[in-house]
A and B are shown apart, each in its own frame.
With several copies, the nearest count.
Chain A
């Protein structure tokens, strides 16, 4: 399926959308397509907003962000995220802020069709008072108090994977992040893939999402750049570093997006 069609069919303004991938396999091409189609008022969910949500936020696609770590890993700030939170540019951004463990368990609860997940952590931190999706429960056996996170159930989850077969089964391998949970927690899932193969062959650390869990598979080689797909590409660390300068300035950011995203057609940056 064409990525353009998959996005326009499944993602509407105001929806809750998760583009997952923990450093590895981030679905940049799908994020760019959301930008090109001008989606607005999205609630974006991602553990690490990373450059992809920096771009979506800077382009005014997001009303709300549910996240757990908003930095440029190994580089520094996400300037568009910061500008939105600090100065409301290009529009105010409501934030719902978890720890990694909290948001991972919120996805896992969603995938298990449970209304909440239980974990240690949060106690004593200021995260609790600023996030209504965190609460406490008492263990019915020991009385110990634990934290609870409200399940995340995205309307649409998008992932990037290495392969799909002709039946639409999707396989990824390497660092698998929370993609399985994010896909299974969602109403609808879309996968972009590096390659369509006749037959998937299980391999070390491979994760398969059966065709009946994925609404649309789109063939988008390089769709994770500047993130990477193990076996197909390597992380473009230079671009991650360069982004710091690009995103620091509103003008330069907008210009870069015009040149590299808005004027392109399904080609990753």
Chain B
């Protein structure tokens, strides 16, 4: 995939870098495994060195040197400002409303940014049984804002979820970052395409959406990925394997 002038990035890198750009210095971020983990740690290496990482495993203010593979890696515990029990994490920190930004992923997302991470097909006889809720419902309900990262395709962006695991539809609180662009809920809560990544056309985004996608009047372009962003991300990724 060719983006902007020169830099070659994978779809996951593109999403991760754009998610990282959403973070601000001093924000308290609840980080899960996978792209969110990479995005939050990338942001700390770029524009948000003072971004506070919280892992639902109980690590508050973790400063991992290497990218952790699981949210329970020893590196998180060893570098954290404080460790708390999982009960305390969910009750006092997440439930208490102390998370500025929560990251979520989904196997399905609907026009109101509700998420399915439970099952494809019926619940009783699923075609694909997914991992389930984890911390997502409470992160969606209690974090001040939510970043959803998901590849855009008609199988993922569906009119109706097979199962509602989490509700992330609060206006102004949610941003969905895909491999094609950026979506945010409009005033009625329905997702609207607000930006496309360089080189992506509106039609591609429409085709990759399982409903009639709303497009913002002032549709924007995301900034091309810079060499620095990509280098930092790849170094971070490599660190996980060291």
Contact = CB atoms under 8 A, between A and B. Distances in A.
Interface of A: 22-24, 47-48, 67-71, 73-74, 77-78, 81-82, 85-86, 97-101, 104-105, 107-108, 111-114, 119-127, 130, 169, 174-178, 180-181, 184, 200, 202, 205, 207-208, 210, 212-213, 228, 230, 234-235, 237, 240
Interface stretch (B136-144, B176-184, B188-196, B228-236): B136-144
Nearest to B141: A121
Contact of B83 (A174, A180, A240): A174
Given A125-B137, A210-B82, A213-B98, A184 B92 contact: yes
A112 B85 contact: no
A85 B82 contact: no
Interface string B81-101: 111011100111011111000
Interface in B48-83: 52, 56-61, 69-74, 76-78, 81-83
B4 interface: no
B95 A176 contact: no
A97 B132 CA distance: 8
Contact of A178 (B76, B87, B141): B87
B219 interface: no
B165 A119 contact: no
B26 interface: yes
B95 A114 contact: yes
Contacts of A119: 90-91, 95, 138
B160 to A, nearest CB: 12
Contact of B87 (A23, A81, A105, A208): A105
A178 B85 contact: yes
B123 interface: yes
Nearest to B70: A73
A77 B131 contact: yes
Contact of B91 (A47, A98, A105, A126): A105
- How large, as a class, is the contact surface on chain B? 35 or more
A100 B72 CA distance: 15
Contacts of B96: 111-113, 184
Given A22-B57, A86-B125, A126-B164, 6 more contacts: A23-B57, A73-B72, A101-B91, A112-B91, A125-B165, A126-B118
A113 B137 contact: no
Contact of A24 (B57, B82, B90, B123): B57
A240 B137 CA distance: 26
A191 B47 CA distance: 30
A237 B71 CA distance: 12
A176 B84 CA distance: 7
B126 interface: yes
Contacts of B83: 174-176, 205
A101 B30 CA distance: 14
Contacts of B91: 101, 104-105, 108, 111-112, 119
A169 to B, nearest CB: 6
Interface of B: 26, 28, 33-34, 52, 56-61, 69-74, 76-78, 81-83, 85-87, 90-92, 94-98, 118, 123, 125-138, 141-142, 163-167
A130 B123 contact: yes
Among the interface residues B85, B97, B163, which one has the most CB atoms of the partner chain A within 10 A? B85
A104 B52 CA distance: 24
Given A122-B137, A230-B77, A23 B70 contact: yes
A208 B82 contact: yes
22 contacts: A22-B86, A23-B72, A24-B57, A48-B134, A70-B131, A70-B132, A71-B132, A73-B70, A73-B71, A85-B126, A97-B118, A97-B132, A101-B95, A111-B92, A111-B96, A112-B91, A113-B97, A120-B142, A169-B81, A180-B92, A181-B85, A237-B70
B70 A74 contact: yes
A77 B129 CA distance: 9
Nearest to B135: A100
A81 B129 contact: yes
A144 to B, nearest CB: 13
B133 A98 contact: yes
Nearest to A174: B77
Given A125-B164, A205-B83, A212-B26, A235 B134 contact: no
Given A104-B90, A234-B74, A82 B129 contact: yes
A228 B77 CA distance: 13
